[in-house]
Structure 1
Amino acid sequence: MKKIKKIEHSQEWHTQRSKGLGGSDAGAVCGMNKYKSPYALWCEKTGRVSCEIQDNERMRLGRDLEDYIAGRFTEVTGLKTKKTNYSYQSDKYPFMLANIDRWVTGAKDVNGNHKRIGLEIKTMSDFAAKNYGIEEGFIPDSYYAQCSHYMAVTEADGWYIAILVLGKYFDVFYIERDDDEIESLIDQERYFWAKVENDIQPPIDGSDSTKETLNIQYPTSVESSDIELLRSEEVEAYRDLCEKSKELETAKKEYENMFKSDMQDAEKAHCGCLQITWKTGKSNRFDQSRFKKEHPDMYKEYMKESETRTFRTKFLNQEENT
């Protein structure tokens, strides 16, 4: 294990991170991160999109609360922690990097032997916790992968996670080292990093992360350009999905209309596990057409041009296609 002097959030720090896979990347590599797909991560690591995140209030709050959470961890476990001024790099797999929050001091096994253990600190709102699928007594797979990655790099015996959900609860989890799972993670990361080094695109998936990454990469179209896609099988599968989607949407609306017919002017209804609301709402909308007609000069002054790239599909009949 190689030590690297850590200067967090500096340009050197961002450059170092782009040269390998860190703990927060492990979940994305394995397809466990609902906010970042393997394709999005590959685009970051190959320089197709920026991986630099602008510092914000949420990130500042997380940093400011690290010491507090470390103190709460000590209260709960009786174990002390210490910061490290280093990031770590695997000797065997140099692309594997670890930027850890704390080392746990004084941890011992049943025989009194010292154990090398780290601590990962998480701070989040109740809304974010629900989005991540976090509940008291449960952690997401992506967090497990992150800690396994740290153990792979540092050869630690285990890893703690301390999670503070603001205003709700504080929880501590311990992950014992599992060599079989760590080896499986290393294999997946090694396979992924080979794609980065050889510029081989990973499979495209249907996640919002991949959609957003493609929009960032290709924000504008070349006017009048037209290419042929060599994806006949995919087009047929897509056609089937479109037809099924229309059928399902029609069936869904049919049930909704049944419920509306039963409810009549009632605002709420329930049936078994289903709760329904059909409320009257009011909204104020800006009459753009009228404003443009009555104040044309002012309308032009306040118009702001923006670009969006709209994706549409249309199936041609046999005559149109030939």
Structure 2
Amino acid sequence: MAKNTSEMSRQEWLWNRKSGIGGSDSSTILGFNAWKSPFELYIDKTSEEVQEIDNEAIHWGNVLEDVVAEEFTRRTGKKVRRRNQTFRHPDYDFMIANIDRDVVGENALLECKTTNAFNSDAWEGEHIPPAYICQLQHYMAVLDYEKAYIAVLIGGQKFVWKEVDRDDEFIELMIEQEKHFWEEHVLKEIPPEIDGTKSASELLNKMYPEDNGETIMLKSDDAEMLIEAIESIKSEVKEKQSLQKEYENKLKMMVGDAQTGVTPRFEIKLKTVKSNRLDSKSLRKELPDIAEKYTNQSTSRRLTIKQIEQEAI
């Protein structure tokens, strides 16, 4: 089944994406997306709001999609066509796909990408970033295609394209994970466990930007288990940081007042670095109006843990 998207507004198209798991969602569920956590994906799929990420990379990726597709055709001789449709897997209705292009005369699709020059190494030789492998295999599963092509413009001046065969074993495992996420979390409205990713932390800051001044009773066993784990990790980190500083000081002693020390395997630099720092304390004291004018206020919530003293019985 396929739903035409050519006449949808941007908001309608975004709502349509919330109706299932798309190709770009698959890497998050499988743990290959460094920028988005399963917890954040769950919020995206279950919230009553549509949030659109609008940045330069996404904008130019959309603008240059036609350029990448045309260059793929020029270099390979393969013709491609747009498919303004949302496809659904015939057996797993929660699996959806919005592909960039079909490859004419082949049971295959084309995905167009752009990236900056710093990511060039990720495309060397036969390498393809794992998140895109998940996306392509998801699309092939939904459309029952036997292969996919991916073309990427790197840094605006390097073009590569690669062919990816369908991997039924990978697809079977992927469907199992996506099915679990959709049925056990999205449909049951049970969020997956929060994790330590940057995106999860940022999302929590957005969800709970300020405290309401109240005090609540937490589930003691769960909360205290986490607190004990945190304190244990803090102790280990502090010990390792102290050990690291000791080793660094011993190296500095070896280098002395030289700028560079070398071993057969390493080069150690101990250069003099001068930096200018604003004395904000003196500025606030001597020129309070100017200090206030150029001070930006930000809101965040700091987690602190304090042991409650128990009264003697």
TM-score, L = length of structure 2:
0.88
Task: Look up the match of 1:21.
Answer: 21
Task: Look up the match of 1:145.
Answer: 134
Matches within 5 A, 1:23-102: 23-47=23-47, 51-54=51-54, 56-102=55-101
Task: Look up the match of 1:177.
Answer: 166
1:120 and 2:116 equivalent? no
- Name the amino acid aligned to 1:18: K
CA shift at 1:321, angstroms?
Answer: 4.8
CA shift at 1:117, angstroms?
Answer: 0.3
Task: Look up the match of 1:223.
Answer: 213
- Name the amino acid aligned to 2:103: V
- Name the amino acid aligned to 1:6: S
Change (3 A) 1:272 1:144: farther
**Mapped partners of 1:170, 1:245: distance in 2:** 44
Task: Look up the match of 1:264.
Answer: 256
Query: Is the 8 Å Cα contact of residues 160 and 174 (structure 1) preserved in structure 2?
Result: yes
Change (3 A) 1:263 1:222: same
> In structure 2, the residue corresponding to 1:265 is in which secondary structure?
coil
> In structure 2, the residue corresponding to 1:138 is in which secondary structure?
coil
> In structure 2, the residue corresponding to 1:93 is in which secondary structure?
coil
Query: Is the 8 Å Cα contact of residues 137 and 171 (structure 1) preserved in structure 2?
Result: no
Change (3 A) 1:36 1:105: same
Task: Look up the match of 2:103.
Answer: 104
Change (3 A) 1:239 1:321: farther
Query: Is the 8 Å Cα contact of residues 62 and 123 (structure 1) preserved in structure 2?
Result: yes
The root-mean-square deviation of aligned C-alpha atoms, in Å, is 2.5
Task: Look up the match of 1:187.
Answer: 176
Change (3 A) 1:24 1:272: farther
Task: Look up the match of 1:109.
Answer: none
- Name the amino acid aligned to 1:161: I
**Mapped partners of 1:26, 1:95: distance in 2:** 12
**Mapped partners of 2:199, 2:263: distance in 1:** 36
1:161 and 2:153 equivalent? no
Task: Look up the match of 2:271.
Answer: 279
Unaligned runs of 5+ residues in structure 1 are 107-114
CA shift at 1:79, angstroms?
Answer: 1.4
**Mapped partners of 1:270, 1:102: distance in 2:** 54
CA shift at 1:138, angstroms?
Answer: 0.8
Matches within 5 A, 1:289-300: 289-300=281-292
**Mapped partners of 2:304, 2:119: distance in 1:** 32
Task: Look up the match of 1:111.
Answer: none
1:254 and 2:254 equivalent? no
**Mapped partners of 2:102, 2:150: distance in 1:** 12
Change (3 A) 1:235 1:289: closer
Query: Is the 8 Å Cα contact of residues 108 and 149 (structure 2) preserved in structure 1?
Result: yes
Task: Look up the match of 2:227.
Answer: 235
Number of residue pairs matched by the alignment: 308
Task: Look up the match of 1:210.
Answer: 200
Unaligned runs of 5+ residues in structure 2 are none
1:305 and 2:304 equivalent? no
Query: Is the 8 Å Cα contact of residues 49 and 213 (structure 1) preserved in structure 2?
Result: no
CA shift at 1:16, angstroms?
Answer: 0.6
CA shift at 1:212, angstroms?
Answer: 1.6
> What is the aligned-residue identity percentage?
38
Query: Is the 8 Å Cα contact of residues 72 and 161 (structure 2) preserved in structure 1?
Result: yes
TM-score, L = length of structure 1:
0.85
Query: Is the 8 Å Cα contact of residues 2 and 91 (structure 1) preserved in structure 2?
Result: no
**Mapped partners of 1:135, 1:270: distance in 2:** 32
> Alpha-carbon deviations, 1:243-287, whole Å to 9, x = none?
222221111111111211112233344445544333322333333
Query: Is the 8 Å Cα contact of residues 5 and 13 (structure 2) preserved in structure 1?
Result: no
> In structure 1, the residue corresponding to 2:233 is in which secondary structure?
helix
Change (3 A) 1:270 1:118: farther
CA shift at 1:125, angstroms?
Answer: 0.5
CA shift at 1:226, angstroms?
Answer: 4.3
Query: Is the 8 Å Cα contact of residues 111 and 150 (structure 2) preserved in structure 1?
Result: yes
**Mapped partners of 2:57, 2:107: distance in 1:** 30
Query: Is the 8 Å Cα contact of residues 2 and 85 (structure 2) preserved in structure 1?
Result: no
Structure 1 stretch displaced more, 221-230 or 96-105 = 221-230
**Mapped partners of 1:214, 1:222: distance in 2:** 15
> In structure 2, the residue corresponding to 1:286 is in which secondary structure?
coil
CA shift at 1:168, angstroms?
Answer: 6.1
Structure 1 stretch displaced more, 270-279 or 197-206 = 270-279
CA shift at 1:58, angstroms?
Answer: 2.2
Change (3 A) 1:147 1:304: same
**Mapped partners of 2:31, 2:243: distance in 1:** 32
> In structure 2, the residue corresponding to 1:292 is in which secondary structure?
helix
